Amino acid sequence: MDAPLLKELQSKEEILEAYPVMKQLRTHLDLSTYSQLVAEAKEKDGYRMFALYNGEKIVAVVGFEPMTTLYYGRIIWICDLVTDENSRSNGYGKVLLEFVHDWAKQKGYESVALSSGLQRTDAHRFYEEKGDYDKVSYVFKKRMK
């Protein structure tokens, strides 16, 4: 088997191709909303999306944004990280995390951070054991209706 190929998704067609995998993480998004939000995040926030391919098939996707905050300093915020449910436990998530870590180091960022839903205990174990992440806070959210 060939090594997986990592590719930045830039065109609308490439971003749409990642939707079936991203939908497994962002179940609330329909295709139109997903497409609009990715385009806006890319334009306004510097959002970058990369996919890992096994052959012609996308097996994992990561989306992140460079940020500067008073708490973290210069960081990369991982907004989305998902491996296709049929391709999990093959190391694809770790490959994407290591890619983001290397990208951040090369660009001079101080750290990489993310949030993960409280119910995602397998993901938490993955971040702590495979990614060497520390739990440093809770994330709170209030909807503006």
Query: Residue 98: which CATH number?
Result: 3.40.630.30
Report, as an integer, the average pLDDT of 107-128: 88
Instruction: Check residues 120 and 67 and name the one with the higher pLDDT.
Output: 67
Cβ pair 135, 114 in contact under 8 A? no
> Phi and psi dihedrals of 54, rounded to 5?
-115, 105
Neighbours of 110 (CB within 10 A): 13
- Tokens linked to 117: 């839903």
Question: Which residue blocks in the chain are alpha helix, DSSP H?
Answer: 12-17, 19-22, 31-45, 92-106, 121-129
Please tell me what DSSP assigns to residue 53: E
Structure confidence by residue, pLDDT tens digits, 37-86: 999 999 999 999 999 999 999 999 999 999 999 999 999 999 999 999 99
Give the integer Cα–Cα distance in Å for 96 and 63.
10
* pLDDT exceeds 90 at position 140: no
Q: Evaluate whether residue 143 is within a structural domain.
A: no
- Give the domain range for residue 56: 5-129
CA distances from 128 to 26, 31, 124, 125, 134 (A): 22, 32, 6, 5, 6
The pTM of this model reads 0.90
Phi-psi category of residue 108: left, alpha or beta, with phi > 0 → left and psi -120 to 50 → alpha: left
In one-letter notation, the amino acid at residue 13 is: E
Q: How many CA atoms lie within 13 A of 111 on its CB side?
A: 12
Q: Evaluate whether residue 136 is within a structural domain.
A: no
Q: Evaluate whether residue 18 is within a structural domain.
A: yes
Q: Evaluate whether residue 116 is within a structural domain.
A: yes
* pLDDT exceeds 60 at position 1: no
Task: Give me the number of domains the chain comprises.
Answer: 1
